[in-house]
Homo-oligomer: A and B are copies of this chain.
Amino acid sequence: MPDKTRLQLYIPKPQARPGEPVNFDGLVVPEAGSVRRPDPLGCEADMRDMPFSLVRVLDEGGHAVGPWAPDVSPDLLRKGLRAMLQTRLFDDKLFRLQRQGKTSFYMKSTGEEAIGAAQSLMLGQGDMCFPTYRVLSWLMARDYPLINLVNQLFSNEKDPLKGRQLPVLYSARDYGFYSLSGNLGSRFGHAVGWAMASAYRNDDKIALGYVGEGTTAEGDFHEALTFAGVYHAPAILCVTNNQWAISTFAGIANPRDTTFAAKAIGYGIPGLRVDGNDFLAVCAATQWAAERAHANLGSTLIEFFTYRAAGHSTSDDPTKYRPVDEPVHWPLGDPIVRLKTHLITIGEWDEARHDALTAELTEEINAAVREGEAVGTLGKSKPPVAEMFEGVFKEPDWRVIEQRKELGI
């Protein structure tokens, strides 16, 4: 019988809270280019080291180095930069508009723009992304009309979702962007089912699922991975580890000793851990996983290691629960700056073009906002009230028909 000492309940704590010095000790960041690239068609059992490293391509000098450096055109990189910048500027603008009461709610993806943008550009038009609320850059990379975003954010008459859904919870089928909802994690399994359907139909489409690192604690996450592993679903399943879940640090979702990518091992699928602030690394990992999925070898779990530089949403103040300067000390840098530097380094971009792009995008956003404001902002305009009663079922039943009459519309 073991010696019985008195037990103690362990409650994990983040390395720093407000007033304490920022502390990223223990965060091991391998050199860009130092991590091996297994054959994407190889055997999962030979890749169990991958979740414990960190795939990085862009080095300090802005060069793309190592076996993961992807073969992508400067054009694609510029498209990516544009989408990321557009996302950043749009977020800033809309955050301010929320403060003015023009929308009820807003969420930024500051610092995480590389992920959606790179994946959007690497995947095909028919592929389907099952997003979280922090993947706006996917839509930006596919030129989703800004006015649609604005109209939904203003919940006005032209809201493409007809006034039924919260701002930021978009749906854009034609852009490969599945319907968002407030419930965390509950669409991860839809991505797997969608991918299984594509395989069932002998199609060539693949699915992309996202959850935040906090959301990995939901049962849905596990159930989706179980299905993905068992049926070899052609899906890329991503955990965006931005270190925070509202006020809660990542250590409340998973102990520090392991990684989110390591969860893959228990489902028999490869797990990659990737620098999410490195546009090229995101491209490379996505391409790797897509190649594997297309080869009928099933899913890959990718942990994108990144940092939520802004608050969770318009409803919280992050300086209440983490050091005010934590974002600026994030060791993996700003994804926009890093991609910009790379493009300049390879001679495909310069400061002047960057400034011009910024000005152009700002004007596009302002124009869209003006157009949306002309239709109306929150409470000033809304879709026809009849839309409240439509779409519950394909055909309305007597209850909503009667109730609509009762409301007199």
Contact = CB atoms under 8 A, between A and B. Distances in A.
Interface of A: 1-12, 43-45, 48, 124, 196, 198-200, 202-205, 216-223, 226, 229-232, 234, 251-258, 260, 262-269, 287, 290-291, 294-296, 298
B204 A230 contact: no
A9 B222 contact: no
B203 A7 contact: yes
27 contacts: A2-B290, A2-B294, A3-B294, A4-B124, A5-B296, A6-B204, A7-B202, A7-B203, A7-B234, A8-B199, A8-B202, A8-B296, A9-B196, A11-B231, A43-B257, A44-B257, A45-B258, A217-B226, A221-B222, A222-B223, A230-B253, A257-B268, A258-B267, A260-B266, A263-B266, A265-B266, A266-B266
Contacts of A290: 1-2
Contacts of A267: 254-255, 258, 263
A255 B234 contact: no
A7 B296 contact: yes
Contacts of A221: 222
Nearest to A225: B222
Contacts of A232: 10
Given A8-B296, A196-B9, A257-B45, A266 B264 contact: yes
Nearest to A231: B10
B217 A223 contact: yes
A294 to B, nearest CB: 5
Contacts of A200: 9
Q: Which residue of A8, A11, A226 has the most chain B CB atoms within 10 A of its CB atom?
A: A226
A251 B267 CA distance: 11
Nearest to A5: B294
The 10 closest A-B pairs by CB, nearest first: A219-B219, A222-B222, A263-B266, A255-B268, A258-B268, A2-B291, A4-B204, A7-B199, A9-B199, A10-B232
Contacts of A204: 4-7
Contacts of A296: 5, 7-8, 10
Nearest to A49: B48
A183 to B, nearest CB: 14
Nearest to A229: B255
A11 B296 CA distance: 12
B258 A266 contact: yes
A287 B4 CA distance: 12
Contacts of A205: 7
A262 B222 CA distance: 14
A296 B216 CA distance: 25
A12 B230 CA distance: 7
A377 B203 CA distance: 58
Given A217-B223, A219-B220, A265-B262, A203 B6 contact: yes
A3 B216 CA distance: 31
A267 B252 CA distance: 11
Nearest to A200: B9
Contacts of A202: 6-8
B268 A254 contact: yes
